[in-house]
Every structure is written in structure tokens, then in C-alpha cells.
Amino acid sequence: MENNEKPRWRLVKTDNPPFWVKPLIPVLALIGTFILTSVLILLADANPFDAYYYFLFAPLENKVSLLEILVKSTPLMITGVAVTYAFATGYYNIGAEGQLYAGAIAATGIGMSMHGVPAIVALPLMIVGGFVAGMAWALIPALLKVKLAVDEVVTTLLMNSVMAYIVSAILNGPWRDPNSGWPQSPDIAPSAVFFKLIPRSRLNFGFILAIVLIIILWIVMTRTSFGLKMRAVGLGKPAAKFAGIKVNRTILTAALISGGIAGIAGVAEVAGIHFHLIGEISPGYGYTGVIIATLGSLNAFGVGLAAMFFGLVDTGAQTLSRALGVPVYLGEVTQATMLLVALGVLLLQRYRIRRM
Amino acid sequence: MYIVEMQKVTKIFGELVANDHVDFQLRKGEIHALLGENGAGKTTLMRILYGLYQQTTGDIFIDGEKVTINSPKDAIKKGVGMVTQHFALVPPMTVAENVVLGYTDSFVLDQAAIEKKVGEAANQFSLDINPKSIVRHLSVGQRQRVEILKALYRNAKVLILDEPTAVLVPQEVDSLFETLDRLRKDGLSVIFISHKLDEVTKITDRVTVLRDGKSIGTVDTVNVTQKQLAAMMVGRDTFGVTRQTEINPDNKKILEVEDLCALDDKGLPALKNLKLSIRSGEILGIAGVGGNGQKELAEILSGVKAPISGVIKINDKNLVGKDPSEFSKMGIGRIPEDRHEGVVGDLTVYENLALEHLDEYSKNGFLDKQAIRKNANELIKNFQIKAKPTDRIRTLSGGNMQKVLLARVLSRQPEVVIAPQPTRGLDVGATEYVRQQLLEQRTRGAAVMLISEDLDEILSISDRIAVIYEGEIVGTINAQNATPEKLGLMMSGALREKA
Ligand SMILES: Nc1ncnc2c1ncn2[C@@H]1O[C@H](COP(=O)(O)OP(=O)(O)OP(=O)(O)O)[C@@H](O)[C@H]1O
Ligand SMILES: [Mg+2]
């Protein structure tokens, strides 16, 4: 019989991966990414080890770039949290990008009319306004989902493109800067600007907001009955329905919360970084939020860590290009590679290698 | 020489020893029963043989050769096939496509060719199935036949069937047994898991009994009685449940259903002007051949399905149009027919136990974790559930999952208990336990509806028996006047009887 195969290394599926696997994932992802991108770095006439030093370690060595990491991770944490609410409930909201812009428009509109209004009134108004706007933008796909079972992945994604046109229409129409003629809104009132946490840096109140949202996410998911309802619906709709949970209402609520929080990301960018609305307020934070929620395995602290890591990579890409004169998009390629590798490693964690 | 021999196989999950040095031998051309209480480790042992789990220690031999089986693919290569309770078929595809799926050498599928090949295979094994049918349109019994064909098509010499009869109606069981008998004559070896001792004594050649993960021994079926098998399984003698006193005819009617009409999933009439009522302290058995509207009746009375017309009243209050949570608030205790639709597999035992009454287990929207855990610990103890509160439900054995559902419902002392197939997939001990629980609900004064395809079960604990046929109650008789023969006639639609 041909059963006498020699022992060799094989991948074997395991049901419960050992506890030390999780922390290893980013490390493995990094090594994999390093190997894959080294070729490109060599082609750009740089030393891969140097490059990675500038990419991942140099930003941690001085205060300015350290703060910059926190600045960059702020919108990512918020969109990551936003997406987590939806995904945990089994509602695949890919529309955080559009919802973010909805929030940014609201924040700009409110912010511009806050001249003479104290910050204590202006800031809450903008945050609430951004939340409501994000929610409103998330409403149509959510209603289509629960009333007509229309797939939300498609609708939320389409709504992003619609939003891009709306933003461009506003910036080229009513809000076009009368002086420069640029598609850029007038600035918001000074009292509507998020205060700085550290003088002469870009780190602002938005970061605190993001941390608070992460803590709230953690509390909601682990401590509240609504959190348990969301998880039950996300993990087993029929059983949740049988147990008397109002499945559609839970999905609708989660979808709206998700949209609202994505809207707050828009507020934080307008009030904390740009102070006016432009078309490029988000280089895809909404989409990155999907990745961060997934990499953070829908866990509040996982989301926080994943966002910080992306903040680091973002900052590092710039340090790298400045230091070695390689194109900035090398950073982007590296980020994309890392993403794919990380997702691969996430899948592989359910396997173990055995010699048999 | 044995076709399969497992030596000292041990499987450990965390702290739990699911299989403990199990020895198991399968002869060529025999049907070998694997018997044991819920959680005894039967499924685990078979999953190891089929490559879904790897044993922690121990050896497996096939045809005398030591083998390592890392995946179902390996198992199939070595001639081992398995049919699990949850079928792995692709519903929109044809039978032929499902059978060859993942087992074709060429990249392009030639429909006509595979249909011909699969048709020939079906003939060869005398499995009555049309290769052109779309799987979605097949009954459970037919789907099971496709799974068996799939295994045989891949040249399985050993066929593992994990509780194949739990999902079948009696006629389908008979036809399965005919098939197995024929295949045995052709030299196929079958491992057959079932909790129904009459099936085991009827079809198998030998029996291996597992208890608490250990093998208690293997016996020739002809040498043992069902009672002896039961004793081997539970380690003590079993006693049937006994019905208690007559019910007081003055007891109040608690549940009343009138003119209930409903459609099934395909949009065909499933219930036609169904009428019944249950008094306090009464068990009403609903007897009938599977597929005559029992599923729809249970779903409607659980609140997860809406009827097209009719009246459902509990203590004279209308229930039609209410949602599941209102059903349970108004005193209906609901056990789902398919337990996988009643629990969320990836949530823990304690979370699942609290899921139906979250309002009570939370204050101002926050979960009262202490109360939830206390409740879980109590129920686990009272209902003898073999699990820790923090275990994911997914890892529980079928019987223990069922106990979780029962505990969730019965601990609330509902006024009405809807119990569709409550002992499906349960071992003798657990079955006895569940029936005892239902009798206790009756003593307490609850109105119990027991929907079952098992006539013995219906006869053993019902006060009255209503027979359902094509969506109608064709007769209701007192249990004292009921005989299996009479019920059988009514179930086939040949006899109608008024109460
Ligand atoms: N993947 C798993 N992780 C942890 N524990 C498991 C896992 N699979 C099974 N178990 C445990 O192993 C024990 C044996 O389970 P198994 O499913 O083999 O029982 P069984 O004999 O098939 O019972 P039943 O008749 O109820 O189907 C149970 O206590 C179960 O909870
Ligand atoms: Mg089992």
C-alpha cells in the first residue's frame, strides 16, 4: 500500500490556537512584508534595513513624530470603532468613508456659524451635528437592508461615491472660497476649533475623543445588554430572533451608530486638523477603518492598537522618503502589502505546523 | 484483520478528556454501532477518524497499516467517508454536481457526462436518486442519500453515519436501513451512531459503548437486550418514566388555537383550519408523520412565524401578531425544533442562558453579570449540563446543548410549554430526564404540547393525543384509548376520529 508516506511538515487545522499566537501576528506580518517589499526598496537604490529603520523605529525616537503618530491614528481609531459596531452585528458597513464626509460637512457648516459662540457650546454642537449627519447618511442603506433585504455592502459602497459628488458640488458651489477660488470652504470659527493637547503640535482634542469612543465601545460590547444583543445578532440571527431579540431593530441601531461615529471622524478632521472643508479631508480613512476593525478582531483595544500601528506606518512612510529619497508611494505600497500579509497571517493562525 | 482499528486513542480539549484511551475495531462488512450518552465522545472519536480532529495520543490503523489522517481529504483517500448531521451540500446545485464536487480530474465539467457517471453509481449502489435534481428541492432523507452516494462515489470502504436517523421520518429510516443492509452485503463497513436502541438492535452486528470518553466494551448485538445496552451506557439500570394521576377535567383551558392557517417555506398550505386546546396540567401529544405541518405549528406557537389567519389565545388573551419576546413574556415556554436555531454557537453558555430575558438580567442597560453567572451556575447544576458557564455553546455535545435550551425555558415556569421533538438526538438517560421534566411541568399545572414523531414517546407521557395529517387535526383521543395501531391509521389519513 502507498500509505507509508515519509513524515513531512504539514499544515494542520486546529480549533483552539494557543494563547501566544495573537501577539505574534503583527510580528509575522512585519517579517513577511519586509521580505516582500525589500525587492522594491533595493530597486529604489536603498538598503532595506535602513529603510525599515526609518519606517518603523525612527518615528518612535523623537517627540514630534511620536505625536504625529497619535494625530494620524485619531481618525483611524474613530472609523475603526464605527465599523466595529456594524460588523459585530453582522452588518457590513463599507460606507464609513461617505459617513465621515457627511460628518465633516455638518461640522464645517456648524463651525462656520459659531462666530462669537463659546467653545463649550460650539464643540458639543459640532460633535452632535456630525454624529447626526453620519447617521442620516447611513440611514438609507440600513433601511433598505432591514426592510427589503438589499445587500448593504453594495449600497453603503455606492453611497460613498454619491457623497464624493456632493462634497465636490458644495465646494465648487456655495462654499467655494471667494478669495482664492479654490474648492475649499471658508474657515470655521476659532471657538469651534479643537483645542491643542500639546502646544505647537497637531495633537488635539480629537485624540481624546477617539480614546473615549474606544472605551465606550469596550463598555458597550462587554457590559451592556445592547452589546450582547448586537453580538448575538451578528453571530446567529435565527437564534437571536428565537430568543426574542428584535433583530431588525438591532441591526438598524447598530448601522446608525456606526454611521454616526464615522461622522465624528469627519468632525475631528475638520475641527482638529484642517479647520475648513476640502475634498481631500480623508485619504480613505473609512476604508482603512474596515481593515482596522478586522485586524483588531472587533475588539475595542485591538482596534486601538491596530489604528496606532497604522498611524506609525503612515508617519514612517514620510520619514522614510525624506531620509532616503525614495518615493513616498513606496510607503503606500508597503502599507498595502502589510495589509495583505496581515490578513493572510490572520487566516493562518488557525493552523499549526506539524511533522507527521 | 480489522479494516479500521483505533488503539488507545485519546483526545484532550483544554482540560476536558473527550476520548480516554479508546480502543475500537471495525470488521469488514459489518455495521457497528457506537453508543453512549450525550457527551460520551462518540462524535469526537469519529471526527478523529475522519481527519477533522487530530488525536492527542493513540494510533489508527486502516487495513493493518498505521496511518495519520490530517484532513477529510486524507480520510477519503484512505477509504473513509462520513455523513454528518449537518449536510455539506450546495443547495442550488444538482445532485450530480454535488457528488463530483472537489473530486473531478478535469477542470471543465461536462454536465451530461457527470450526470451519467453519477447515475451509474447510484444504480450500482441501488440508491434511488435522480442525478439531475436540484438539491434544494430534496427532502432531508434524499439529501442524506446524496451524502452517502458522495462518500461511495469516492470509493469509501468505511462509512461513518453520525446520528443519521435523528433527522429522518420513520419511512425514511426504513429505506436507509434497507440501503445499509444491501451495502453491508457488498462488503461496506459502517459505523452507526444512534441513541435509539431499537434501531441499534435491529440493524447492527456489533456495538461498542462509550461512557465518559472511555470504551466500556464491544459486544455482539445478538447477545444483548436493549435494557442491557442502556445499563452499559449509563452505568446503572434505567427506568421508564411513569405517567401520574388523571387530570382534573375541570382544569382551565390555557392555550386555545382556532382556525389556524399557515403556509410553509415554499408558499404551500401547511396548516388548514387547525384547532386544538390544552388545559392546565395536561400534556397534549401531537402525533403525525414528519412534514404534516408540525414544524410550522411549532414555529407559529413560538412566535417566529406568522400565520395567515386564525386565533391563538393564552388565558383568553390574543397572541397573533405578537413577536417572540411577547410570546415568552405572556407565558409561553418555547423549545426550538432545531437546536442550532435556538443557541448562538459562538456565545458562551451563560450568555445563551440569559439571552431570552435580557431585560431581567440588566439594570439601566448594563448587564448584571453576577446575576447572569449565578443563574447559569444554578441551571448547570439543576439540569446536569456537562459544561462550564464560560464554554462556547458550539463546543457542547448535542445533548448538552439541548439541556441548555430546556433549562432556559423550564426554569421560568412557563404556563404553556411548546416542545417539538424535545428528545431528538438525546441518549436514553437524557431522554428519560427530559420526559420527567415535562411531566413535572404538567404536575406544576402547565399546559404542555409535545410534538413528536416517536409514538412511544407520545404514548408514554401524553394525556390526550391529537393526530396531525396534512395540516389538520384529524382526531383527538384520550391516551388510555390510544394504541399504536389506531394512531398509525389516523396518521396515514385513513381514519378520522372526534374527541
Ligand atoms: N471542539 C471542542 N472543543 C472543546 N470541547 C469539545 C469540542 N468538541 C467536543 N467537545 C467536548 O467533548 C465531549 C464529547 O463530545 P462529543 O460531541 O464527542 O459527544 P457525543 O458522544 O457525540 O454526544 P452527543 O450524543 O450529545 O452528540 C463533550 O463534553 C464536548 O463538550
Ligand atoms: Mg455527537
How crowded is residue A26: how many other Cβ atoms within 10 Å of its Cβ?
16
Instruction: Mark which residues 286-315 of B lie under 8 Å from A by CB.
Output: 302-304
Pocket of ligand 1 (CB under 6 A): A 15; B 13, 16, 18, 36, 38-44, 386, 395-399, 427
Per-residue confidence (pLDDT) for residue B237, from 0 to 100: 60
Rounded distance from Cα B233 to ligand 1 centre (Å): 16
Below-50 pLDDT ranges, chain A = 1-5
Per-residue confidence (pLDDT) for residue B282, from 0 to 100: 93
Residue to substitute from B355, B363, B412, interface A, most A β-carbons within 10 A = B355
> pLDDT tens digits, residue range A311-335?
988 888 888 888 888 787 777 787 7
| CATH code for the domain defined by B4-234 | 3.40.50.300
Q: Which of A252-266, B58-72, B396-410 has the lowest mean pLDDT?
A: B396-410
> What distance in Å separates residue A222's CA from the closest CA in chain B?
9
Put simply, the answer to whether A3 touches B62 (Cβ < 8 Å) is yes
Per-residue confidence (pLDDT) for residue B240, from 0 to 100: 55
Q: Which of A104-118, A227-241, B119-133, B302-316 has the lowest mean pLDDT?
A: B119-133
Rounded distance from Cα B431 to ligand 1 centre (Å): 18
pTM of the model: 0.78
Residue to substitute from A9, A15, A224, A225, interface B, most B β-carbons within 10 A = A225
Sign of CA dihedral B111, B116, B121, B122: positive
Per-residue confidence (pLDDT) for residue B1, from 0 to 100: 81
How crowded is residue A325: how many other Cβ atoms within 10 Å of its Cβ?
10
State how far the Cα of A274 lies from the Cα of B244, in Å rounded to an integer.
79
State how far the Cα of B28 lies from the Cα of B79, in Å rounded to an integer.
12
Report the half-sphere exposure of A352 (CA within 13 A, side-chain side). Answer: 14
Per-residue confidence (pLDDT) for residue A10, from 0 to 100: 62
Q: What separation in angstroms does the CA of A39 have from each of A42, A47, B189, B286?
A: 5, 10, 56, 72
User: What percent of chain B lies above the pLDDT cut of 70?
Assistant: 95
CB neighbour list of residue B306: distance below 8 Å, 6 or more residues apart: B262, B300, B320, B321
Q: Is residue B263 very low, low, confident or very high in pLDDT (cuts 50, 70, 90)?
A: very high
Question: What are the boundaries of each domain within chain A?
Answer: 17-53+75-355
Q: Which ligand is nearest to the Cα of residue B424, counting in written order?
A: 1
State how far the Cα of B43 lies from the Cα of B83, in Å rounded to an integer.
11
Question: What single letter denotes the amino acid at residue A180?
Answer: S
Same topology between domain B4-234 and domain B253-491: yes
Per-residue confidence (pLDDT) for residue A308, from 0 to 100: 93
For the residues B85-109, what does the mean pLDDT come to? 79
DSSP result, B141-161: HHHHHHHHHHHHHTT-SEEEE
B365/A contact by beta carbon, under 8 A: yes
Q: Which atom of ligand 1 is nearest to the CA of B398?
A: 26
How crowded is residue A265: how many other Cβ atoms within 10 Å of its Cβ?
36
Q: Is residue B207 very low, low, confident or very high in pLDDT (cuts 50, 70, 90)?
A: very high
Q: Which of A276-280, A346-350, B453-457, B464-468 has the lowest mean pLDDT?
A: A346-350
Per-residue confidence (pLDDT) for residue A42, from 0 to 100: 87
For the residues B221-245, what does the mean pLDDT come to? 75
Is pLDDT above 90 for B277?
yes
Strands of the sheet with B447-452, listed across from one edge: B332-334, B416-420, B447-452, B282-287, B464-469, B472-478
> pLDDT tens digits, residue range B162-195?
988 877 777 788 889 999 999 999 999 999 998 8
Q: Cβ-count burial of B61 within 10 angstroms (0-12 exposed, 13-18 middle, 19+ buried)?
A: middle
- Minimum-distance CB partner of A238 among B62, B63, B341: B341
Rounded distance from Cα B188 to ligand 2 centre (Å): 22
For the residues B332-358, what does the mean pLDDT come to? 90
Per-residue confidence (pLDDT) for residue A4, from 0 to 100: 45
CB A261 within 8 A of CB A131: yes
State how far the Cα of A43 lies from the Cα of A320, in Å rounded to an integer.
15
For the residues B43-49, what does the mean pLDDT come to? 95
Per-residue confidence (pLDDT) for residue B399, from 0 to 100: 82
Q: Which of A311-320, B301-310, B362-371 has the lowest mean pLDDT?
A: A311-320
Per-residue confidence (pLDDT) for residue B16, from 0 to 100: 85
* Crossing angle for the helix pair A63-88 and A247-269, to the nearest 10 degrees: 160
Q: Which ligand is nearest to the Cα of residue B209, counting in written order?
A: 1
Per-residue confidence (pLDDT) for residue A3, from 0 to 100: 42
Question: What single letter denotes the amino acid at residue A189?
Answer: A
| CATH code for the domain defined by A17-53+75-355 | 1.10.3470
- Minimum-distance CB partner of B67 among A3, A228, A232: A3
Q: Which of A22-31, B29-38, B149-158, B239-248 has the lowest mean pLDDT?
A: B239-248
> What distance in Å separates residue B324's CA from the closest CA in chain A?
5
Mean pLDDT taken over chain B: 88
What is the bridge-based pairing of β-strands B447-452 and B282-287?
parallel
Is pLDDT above 80 for B308?
yes
- Minimum-distance CB partner of B367 among A4, A228, A356: A228
For the residues B281-306, what does the mean pLDDT come to? 90
Residue nearest to atom 10 of ligand 1 (CA): B395
Question: What are the boundaries of each domain within chain B?
Answer: 4-234, 253-491
Put simply, the answer to whether A246 touches B343 (Cβ < 8 Å) is no
Domain B253-491 has CATH 3.40.50.300: yes
DSSP result, A52-83: HIIIIIHHHHSHHHHHHHHHHHHHHHHHHHHH
- Minimum-distance CB partner of A224 among B304, B359, B367: B367
Q: What is the DSSP letter of A196?
A: B
State how far the Cα of A167 lies from the Cα of B360, in Å rounded to an integer.
47
For the residues B91-108, what does the mean pLDDT come to? 79
A232 vs B contacts (CB less than 8 Å): 344, 347, 351, 355
Total CB pairs under 8 A between chain A and B: 97
Q: Is residue B242 very low, low, confident or very high in pLDDT (cuts 50, 70, 90)?
A: low
Sign of CA dihedral A316, A318, A323, A328: positive
> What distance in Å separates residue A5's CA from the closest CA in chain B?
9
State how far the Cα of A95 lies from the Cα of A282, in Å rounded to an integer.
13
A223/B contact by beta carbon, under 8 A: yes
Put simply, the answer to whether A245 touches B325 (Cβ < 8 Å) is yes
CB B342 within 8 A of CB A239: yes
Q: Which atom of ligand 1 is nearest to the CA of B40?
A: 21
Q: What is the DSSP letter of B467?
A: E
Phi, psi of B80 (to 5 degrees): -110, 125
Query: Which ipTM was obtained for this model?
Result: 0.82
CB neighbour list of residue B20: distance below 8 Å, 6 or more residues apart: B10, B41, B212, B213, B214
A240 vs B contacts (CB less than 8 Å): 344, 355
> pLDDT tens digits, residue range B376-389?
999 999 888 989 99
Per-residue confidence (pLDDT) for residue A2, from 0 to 100: 39
A180/B contact by beta carbon, under 8 A: no
Per-residue confidence (pLDDT) for residue A1, from 0 to 100: 37
